[in-house]
Amino acid sequence: MCDVISGVAADPSIPAANRRQFLQVLGVTAAAGGLLAAGAAPASAGGPGASGGSRPKRTRLVLLGTAGGPGILGAERAGISTAIAYRDRVYVVDLGLSSLQRLRQSSLSGPAGVASTLSNVRGIFFTHLHSDHLMDWPATYATGPINTMGRTGPPIQVFGPGARGTLPRVFPPNRPAPPVFAPQDPTPGITGMTEHLTRAWAADFNDRARDSNFAGPQSTFAVQDIDLSGIWAPDPLGIPPRLQAPIPVWTDDEVTVTATLVDHHAAAPAFGFRFDTPDGSVTVSGDTAVSENLIDLARDTDYLVHEVIDPGWVARLVATLPPEVGGPLGNHLLESHTTIEQVGRDVAEKAGAKNLVLTHLVPGDNPTSRWQRARQGYSGRLVVGADLMELAVR
């Protein structure tokens, strides 16, 4: 989403006065701490928003980062990342910018005073391959073996989209196609991206392996694409088919992880994930428009953790631009995300979700009262997410 915004802000073909107005709208958030990275002060683990008591619940939901988009103008909200913990096992969905640091600050890391940020992590799951959802993956991959002190058991299982195999359509369709980045491999999946990371970090890895017996990240992470064979081959438009059943991803003893295809066109494939433990379930939307597949996946879930965008903010943003730019930009933002008015009424209520937790907040500095409008048409409990908030799954 913000990849489009960044391009508009830098586009020399747009009159300077329009670009200044555009940036002023973005700058509203900067005054409160940053575009798409602003909001309430972080709740420390065990503090406000936590599950309460000195002893954590057996299954809990922890919001590591709640900002939507890659714009960086403040530090109150880290990039998008959500964790589900069962006993001492941690499962992380997405790794936005600074989420690795949030994981260290949370109750989910190993003992303080040692490099144990990833010691309890069993799995990492990427919803899609937009930068704001995996900015901390390179850092996690490169430093993982050093930050797992005290860890026992198998490697951390990493799941994400496979290679798309086709470029997305050009939007709007009447403009010339832009140059293709890395034409020799333009749409790698999570395994392909990680192979590129290994080459990018080769000097570091070889230095450490030869100088201090560094085992390398392959010993810490088992990276794999989610197999869509027989389910869907993404086309240029990127709108997924309706699924008849969830996609099995992984069962880790008492924790079962399933996925579905969500609609974040033109990005594809894009996934939502559901985690079922003996105590209950947590469903994480990823970035998506209103999705029947996600509603099916989230049926009767205890917590639906869902992205949200404010259409009023979108209207103010696109009003600063010429119609030929603002119109398509507005359509893009609203067609590939879920609005305040839609998320409770059209998604959480239809799914029968007991709790709706708003995250990936766009813009991050909205007053809480604005996000609370998501209550309209929703009969469950609404929670406006904040970094390091903990919620018990009973």
Q: Amino acid identity, residue 277?
A: T
Q: How many CA atoms lie within 13 A of 246 on its CB side?
A: 20
Biggest CA-to-CA distance, the chain = 61
> Residue range 106-127: average pLDDT?
94
The whole-angstrom separation of Cα 347 and Cα 378 is 9
pLDDT, mean of residues 304-327: 89
Distances (CA, A) of 283 to 126, 275, 276, 388, 393: 14, 6, 9, 18, 12
How many CA within 13 A on the CB side of residue 147?
16
Give Cα separations from 173 to 181, 236, 240, 334 (angstroms). Answer: 19, 12, 20, 17
Helix (H, G, I), strand (E, B) or coil at 329: helix
pLDDT exceeds 70 at position 48:
no
Cβ neighbours for 198, distance < 8 A, ≥ 6 positions apart: 205, 217, 218
Residues 362-376, mean pLDDT to the nearest whole number: 91
Question: What mean pLDDT comes out for the span 164-173?
Answer: 91
pLDDT band at residue 164 using 50, 70 and 90 as cut-offs = very high
Average pLDDT score over residue span 197-222: 95
Residue 261: closest CA among 226, 212, 237: 226
Asked if the model's pLDDT at residue 210 lies above 70, the reply is yes
Q: Percent of the chain beyond pLDDT 90?
A: 72
Q: What is the pLDDT of residue 273?
A: 99
The rounded percent of the chain whose pLDDT value lies above 70 is: 85
pLDDT at 106: 96
Mean pLDDT of 219-238: 97
**Mean pLDDT, rounded, for 103-129:** 95
Rounded to 10 degrees, what is the CA torsion of 317, 318, 320, 324?
160
pLDDT, position 330: 85
- Strands 221-225 and 81-86 turn out to be unpaired
Q: Is 130 exposed, middle or buried (0-12, 13-18, 19+ CB in 10 A)?
A: buried
H-helix or E-strand spanning residue 210? helix 202-212
Phi, psi (deg, nearest 5) at residue 45: -55, 130
Instruction: Give the pLDDT score at 84.
Output: 98
pLDDT category at 19 given cuts 50, 70, 90 is low
* pTM recorded for the entire structure: 0.87
Is it the case that residue 18 has pLDDT exceeding 80? no
pLDDT at 363: 87
52 has a pLDDT exceeding 60: no
Mean pLDDT score across all residues of the chain: 88
Coil, strand or helix at 226: coil
Pairing mode, strands 59-65 and 81-86: antiparallel
Domain boundaries along the sequence of the chain: 2-174+185-392
Helix or strand (DSSP H, E) at 332: helix 323-335
Q: For residue range 326-344, what is the model confidence (pLDDT) as tens digits?
A: 877 788 889 999 999 999 9
Quickly tell me which residue has 């069993």 as its tokens: 122
Of the listed ranges 156-165, 173-182, 222-231, the one predicted with least confidence = 173-182
Mean per-residue pLDDT for 303-315?
95
H/E stretch holding 303 reads: strand 303-309
Contact status, residue 104 vs residue 148, Cβ threshold 8 Å: no
pLDDT band at 44 (very low <50, low <70, confident <90, very high): very low
Residue of 36 and 14 predicted with greater confidence: 14
Per DSSP, the three-state class of 212 is helix
Residues with Cβ < 8 Å from 1, sequence gap 6 or more? 68, 69, 130, 132, 287, 309, 332, 333, 336, 337, 362
pLDDT digits (tens, 9 = 90+) for 239-274: 999 999 999 999 999 999 999 999 999 999 999 999
2-174+185-392: CATH superfamily: Ribonuclease Z/Hydroxyacylglutathione hydrolase-like (3.60.15.10)
